[in-house]
Amino acid sequence: MATNLISSCNQLISKHKIEVIDLKSVDLTGRLHHISLPVTDNLLSTLLREGVGFDGSSYGFRKVENSDMILIPDLTTAVIDPFRDAPTLSFYCNIHLADGHKTPFKQDGRLIAKQTEKILFETTGCDQSFWGPEFEFYIFSKVKYDTRTASSFYEIEHGEEFHRNAYHAANPFDVYDDFRDEACKILKQFGIKVKYHHHEVGERGQQEIETYFTDLLLTADHIITAKYALFNFARKKDLYVTFMPKPMYHQAGNGMHLHLFLSKKGKNAFYKKGEYGNINELGRFFIGGILKHGSALSAFTNPSTNSYKRLVPGFEAPVGLTYGQGNRASAIRIPKYVSNPDETRFEYRPPDATANPYFCLSAILLAGIDGVVNKIDPVKEGFGPYDKNVDEYLKDNIKFLPRNLDESLDALKSDNDFLRRGNIFTDELLNQWVKIKQEDIRSIGTMPHPFEFKLYFNL
């Protein structure tokens, strides 16, 4: 198989006169990195055999005194990068230890994704999980920000300003519809199929692009790729894109809602006609596991301090650890408009794009698996179904998502056995994740905020 892949990629190199091989990978937090190699004879064979060394400490993976690691390209991810001037063939990489055996690195998100899909089959008999992300983001015409010892500020200029409902706004008021059209063409070049795009609720330039279902690993790759494509395309247009969960005060936040179903023997494993939302017992147990572990999951689905400025009541924020049909205040929404049995699914609404998608999706899947294995019934657990608004939730004393990143890390520390199934999330990874996120909390907690000057400077 490797020989066939090398031959296929070499044909691309020859046909498109490729000059550069680009190796892409993400660090612990999910930030994209790359290294470029000029094309030489037998380069791909050499890369598969030897890989490329890199400093794992700069990726947050290893300590400085033991930081040598190896990148080996996954040739199935080959794609021509439209944002490079020189003809460039790009690959995502798997990460290995420089131990003489090129042992796969246990904290590599792509490895974790593959191992989690394997656990799915072993524990539930389901073949695969399928995911359909919704990308919410803002487009700004100008952005400036900085933090120094004696100054801290951000300043945003936006090309849109609605004074009414901006959801599905039409042109000419939807200023960026042509931007989205072109962006979707670029995503297609990367192999990402777009379902639709539209203006979102945010009145100062919020957009949404939703993509079709793919398996866990490919979806996580596509999340990284989509962000890469939109950042680069915006730069070419002299615009700025952000996926920050809450970039502006009193404006709708950016989520990364994840539509999800399982397949078994090629058919939808969740469907049963006549049940609530047409979701069968397997699907309900899966939902029960996600909601049961929802607080701990938030450490991976919403891993930034900014995430929790979005997860507050209002703005259709999914704050309740409940499920319901068509209910956007619940963490899990079963779409009412789905009539095709093959697409029976639910939507997990809390995640945002500050997540490392490999960790995020794998953690959600492991929580669902735990629900199936332990038969966690969301009805008996008090998770719903709810078709109420947030104000009514408060009367019912239901459980809510953590209010901040600190609470989510506490939840992760007290509830992580479900992540350890099959030793997928190791002690080393969980400890390292908590450590780097606590550093974020400490940094922001000790930094004077501009709003504090307004509150306290003359007090």
| Catalytic residue selected from 81, 208, 352, 370 | 208
Q: Does residue 64 carry a pLDDT above 70?
A: no
Per-residue pLDDT, 336:
87
| Catalytic residue selected from 108, 174, 200, 352 | 200
Distance CA 116, CA 10 (A): 32
Q: Does residue 314 carry a pLDDT above 90?
A: no
State whether 146 and 99 are in the same domain. Answer: no
| Catalytic residue selected from 328, 381, 387, 407 | 328
State whether 404 and 369 are in the same domain. Answer: yes
Annotate the chain with three-state secondary structure: CHHHHHHHHHHHHHHCCCCEEEEEEECCCCCEEEEEEECCCCHHHHHHHHCEEEEHHHHCCCCHHHCEEEEEECHHHCEECCCCCCCEEEEEEEEEECCCCCCECCCCHHHHHHHHHHHHHHHHCCCEEEEEEEEEEEEECEEEEEECCCCEEEEEECCCCCCCCCCCCCCCCCCCHHHHHHHHHHHHHCCCCEEEEEECCCCCCEEEEEECCEEHHHHHHHHHHHHHHHHHHHHHCCCEEECCCCCCCCCCCCCCCEEEEEEECCEECCECCCCHHHECHHHHHHHHHHHHCHHHHHHHHCCCCCHHHHCCCCCCCCCEEEEEECCCCEEEEECCCCCCHHHCCEEECCCCCCCCHHHHHHHHHHHHHHHHHCCCCCCCCCCCCCCCCHHHHHHHCCCECCCCHHHHHHHHHHCCHHHHHHHCCCHHHHHHHHHHHHHHHHHHHCCCCHHHHHHHCCC
Would you call 328 a catalytic residue per the annotation?
A: yes
Q: Does residue 271 carry a pLDDT above 70?
A: yes
Residue where one domain finishes, among candidates 104, 138, 156: 104
Taking the CA atoms of residue 347, residue 353, residue 354 and residue 358 in that order, the dihedral angle to the nearest 10 degrees is 70
Express as a percent the part of the chain with pLDDT over 90.
84
Q: Does residue 176 carry a pLDDT above 80?
A: yes
State whether 60 and 129 are in the same domain. Answer: no
Task: Out of 69-78, 135-144, 280-289, 326-335, pick the least confident.
Answer: 326-335
Per-residue pLDDT, 156:
94
The answer to whether 346 touches 276, Cβ cutoff 8 Å, is no
Residue where one domain finishes, among candidates 63, 87, 104: 104
Confidence bin at 14 (pLDDT 50/70/90): very high
Would you call 27 a catalytic residue per the annotation?
A: no
Would you call 200 a catalytic residue per the annotation?
A: yes
CATH code of 391's domain: 3.30.590.10
Distance CA 396, CA 378 (A): 15
The answer to whether 384 touches 330, Cβ cutoff 8 Å, is yes
Would you call 210 a catalytic residue per the annotation?
A: no
State whether 150 and 118 are in the same domain. Answer: yes
Would you call 381 a catalytic residue per the annotation?
A: no
State whether 118 and 244 are in the same domain. Answer: yes
Would you call 136 a catalytic residue per the annotation?
A: yes
State whether 29 and 151 are in the same domain. Answer: no
Distance CA 104, CA 15 (A): 33
Residue where one domain finishes, among candidates 104, 139, 167: 104
State whether 224 and 92 are in the same domain. Answer: no
**Domain count of the chain?**
2
State whether 178 and 220 are in the same domain. Answer: yes
Regarding predicted confidence, which is higher, 39 or 60? 39
- Residue 95 — φ and ψ, nearest 5°? -105, 135
| Catalytic residue selected from 22, 108, 117, 136 | 136
Q: Model confidence over 188-217: pLDDT tens digits?
A: 999 999 999 999 999 999 999 999 999 999
Q: Model confidence over 322-369: pLDDT tens digits?
A: 999 977 788 999 998 888 999 999 999 999 999 999 999 999 999 999
CATH code of 16's domain: 3.10.20.70
* Mean of all residue pLDDT scores within the chain: 94
State whether 195 and 344 are in the same domain. Answer: yes
Per-residue pLDDT, 358:
98
Would you call 439 a catalytic residue per the annotation?
A: no
The answer to whether 416 touches 431, Cβ cutoff 8 Å, is no
Task: Out of 229-243, 303-317, 391-405, 407-421, pick the least confident.
Answer: 391-405
State whether 98 and 144 are in the same domain. Answer: no
Full residue range of the structural domain in which residue 438 is found: 113-456
Answer left, alpha or beta for residue 184, where phi above 0 means left and psi between -120 and 50 means alpha.
Answer: alpha
Per-residue pLDDT, 164:
76
State whether 89 and 128 are in the same domain. Answer: no
| Catalytic residue selected from 199, 257, 293, 333 | 257
| Catalytic residue selected from 108, 160, 215, 347 | 347
pTM of the model: 0.96
| Catalytic residue selected from 16, 49, 55, 420 | 55
The answer to whether 133 touches 211, Cβ cutoff 8 Å, is yes
State whether 391 and 449 are in the same domain. Answer: yes
